[in-house]
Amino acid sequence: MSQARANQTDAYNLILQAIDTGVYRPGDRLVESELAERFGVSRTPIREALQRLETQSLLTRDGRSLIVASLDHNQMAELYAVRAELEGLAARLAARHATEEEIQVLGEMVSEDRALLDDPSALARANRRFHKLIHLASHNRFLVQQLDLVHRSMALMATTSLAADGRGEIALEEHSAIVDAIANRDEDAAYKALKEHISVAFVTRLKLDSLDG
C-alpha cells in the first residue's frame, strides 16, 4: 500500500472511530482543518476520507458544511430489519463453522462483560466485540463485509440501547443463549436467538427515542 493510500485509510478509520465512540455525534459539523489538527494528519487525506464517508451516507451536506448524518424512524427500521437477518445468518453459520476456540472466547466474553453492567459505554464497546466475533466465526468473508457496512451505519445513532435501565443485564442473558446455541451446533436456535436479540434491542431503542421526543 502506498503512503498516500495508507494516510487516507488512517484518516478514514480515525474519523469513523470518532463517530462510532460518540466524539462526533449526529448533527455535528466536521471541519477539515480541525480534524487534521486533532488527528495529526494533513488535510488532503482528511478531505479524501470525508468524501468517502459522504459517499457512504455517514456524512451529509448542510449548505457548504459536512455534518454527521442522522437516521430518521424509517431509516432506523430499515437498518434493523437488514441487521436482524444478516446477524441471524452469521449466528447460523457460526453454529456450523465456528472453531472450539472461537466458541470458548465468546463464552468468556459473556462472563467478563458482566463486570461492565454499570458502564453503558464500555458495555456497548464490548457488545460490538462480541458481535464482531460471531461475524468472524461465520467464516464467510462476504457476510462479514456486509455486516461491517451495517455496523458503520449503527454509529449514526446518538445513544446505545444498552443505556436503557436493565437492558444490559437482559442483553447478556441473550448473548449467553446465543453462545449456547452456537456451542450446541444448533443452527436454527442460533439464528432465532440472535434475531430475537436484535428485535429486543430495536424495541428498546424505539422506547428510548420516544422518551427523547
Q: What is the pLDDT of residue 160?
A: 73
Whether residue 7 sits in one domain with residue 108? no
Whether residue 126 sits in one domain with residue 101? yes
Q: What is the pLDDT of residue 158?
A: 63
Whether residue 34 sits in one domain with residue 59? yes
Q: What is the pLDDT of residue 22?
A: 79
Kindly report, residue by residue over 77-100, the tens digit of the pLDDT.
999 999 999 999 999 999 999 999
Residue 4 three-state SS: helix
Q: Residues of the chain whose pLDDT is less than 70?
A: 1-9, 158-159, 212-213
Whether residue 39 sits in one domain with residue 119? no
Whether residue 122 sits in one domain with residue 28? no
Q: What is the pLDDT of residue 100?
A: 98
- Specify the number of domains making up the chain: 2
Q: Which structural domain, as residue segments, surrounds residue 47?
A: 3-68
Q: What is the pLDDT of residue 45?
A: 93
Of 20, 36, 68, which residue is a domain's last?
68
- In the sheet with 29-30, reading across from the earlier edge strand, the strands are 29-30, 65-68, 59-62
Q: What is the pLDDT of residue 2?
A: 47
Whether residue 105 sits in one domain with residue 198? yes
Residue with cell 430489519: 81
How far, in Å, CA of 113 to CA of 123, rounded?
Answer: 7
Of 47, 68, 89, which residue is a domain's last?
68
Q: Are the beta carbons of 178 and 130 closer than 8 angstroms?
A: no
Whether residue 151 sits in one domain with residue 56? no
